Amino acid sequence: MSAPFFRADGVEAGYGGVQVLWGVGAELERGQIGCIVGSNGAGKTTFMRCIAGLNAAWKGTIEVDGRAIASHPPHQILSAGVALVPEGRRLFPGMSVRDNLLMGTFLRRDGSAAINADLDRALGMFPVLRERLSQDAGTLSGGEQQMCAIGRGLMSRPRLLLIDELSLGLAPRIVEQLTHILREINEQGVTILLVEQDVITALELADIGFVMDRGRIVKSGPTEELADDPVIREAYLGIV
């Protein structure tokens, strides 16, 4: 049996003396969409930060395509093909939309022709950004900012795209548009792992779901199964 494309095992991490993750494990096959759901403070964002290298993993392993990346610096993890769209978008507010997108290509060495082609592709996905190219990213609406942030993440040509809080604060119409685009990205071969507070959206979009509670994965499996699980229906969907 071949090893999964993405694998985390026994990941422990925290801030200063406060431990947040208590042995988190998750696996994704190449080309899958995974989602992590759970209440506030469960450790979802910390886990994403660990994968991207913003936080060190105190213990445990994280592997992408057989390559160990736990506690590596962010630029090495990005070179390994992992890009994070962080919580709160974190665009560079005083930079133009174009420069924000181009920041995503910082490590690329494949020349401006390939980069321009990808810029065009990203703008094809998010046509509204084309009209805003020279505008400061700080002036965009929430939905446009999320599009710009996802576009920026894609500009590094990742094989694993991490998205922390896809739909937070966005109108339902925008969320629908974004999930549609994520499926498109996924069909082009990008494996996706997202954190999502809207469980219905998450279970609809993803193939595999992970339920996180107090720093542990308490349940995982195909999303159809999770959607039928009575405990999850009660705790997260409010349906008995």
Partner 1 sequence: MLYLQILVNGLLLGGLYACIASGFSLVWGVLNVINILHGSFIVIGSYVGLLAHQQFGINPFLTVPVAGLLLYGFGYLLQRGVINRAVGQPVLVTLTLTFGLELLVNNMLIAGFTADYKKVVLENPFGQIELGALFVPVDRLLSMVLALLLTGILYWMLRGSKLGRAIVAVRMDREAAALMGVKVNSIYAVTFGLGALMAGAAGSMMSMIYPISPIISTAYLGKAFVICVMGGLGSVPGAIVGGLALGVIESFGSLFFSAELATTFSFVLLILLLIFRPTGLMGRRGYE
* Binding of partner 1 by 44 (CB under 8 A): no
Cβ atoms within 10 Å of 183's Cβ, excluding its own:
13
* Binding of partner 1 by 27 (CB under 8 A): no
* Binding of partner 1 by 200 (CB under 8 A): no
Closest separation between CB of residue 23 and partner 1, Å? 25
Per-residue x/- marks for partner 1, 109-148, CB under 8 A? ----------------------------------------
Contacts of 53 (CB under 8 A, 6+ apart): 69, 71, 72, 73, 74, 76, 77
Region from 4-12, 98-106, 140-148, 219-227 binding partner 1, contact rule CB under 8 A = 98-106
Nearest to 42 by CA among 182, 237, 236: 236
Contacts of 117 (CB under 8 A, 6+ apart): none
Tokens of 35: 């989602």
Contacts of 83 (CB under 8 A, 6+ apart): 52, 104, 153, 154, 156, 158, 160, 161, 162
State which of residues 7, 61, 71, 92 lies at the interface with partner 1 (CB under 8 A): 92
Closest separation between CB of residue 45 and partner 1, Å? 12
Name the strands in the sheet holding 18-28, side by side, starting at the edge strand that comes first in the sequence: 18-28, 6-15, 59-64, 67-68
* Binding of partner 1 by 70 (CB under 8 A): no
Residues 102, 81, 11: CA angle, nearest 5 degrees: 125
Region from 79-87, 109-117, 124-132, 201-209 binding partner 1, contact rule CB under 8 A = 79-87
The span from the CA of 46 to the CA of 43, in Å, is 5
Identity of the residue, 12 or 99, whose beta carbon is nearer to partner 1 in the bound complex: 99
Identity of the residue, 55 or 201, whose beta carbon is nearer to partner 1 in the bound complex: 55
Per-residue x/- marks for partner 1, 142-181, CB under 8 A? ----------x---x-------------------------
* Binding of partner 1 by 69 (CB under 8 A): no
* Identity of residue 98: R
How many amino acids of this chain bind partner 1 (CB under 8 A)?
25
State which of residues 93, 169, 172, 222 lies at the interface with partner 1 (CB under 8 A): 93
**Beta-strand relationship, 216-222 and 82-85:** unpaired
| Residues within the interface to partner 1 (CB under 8 A) | 52-54, 73-75, 78-79, 83-84, 86, 90-95, 99, 102-104, 106-107, 152, 156
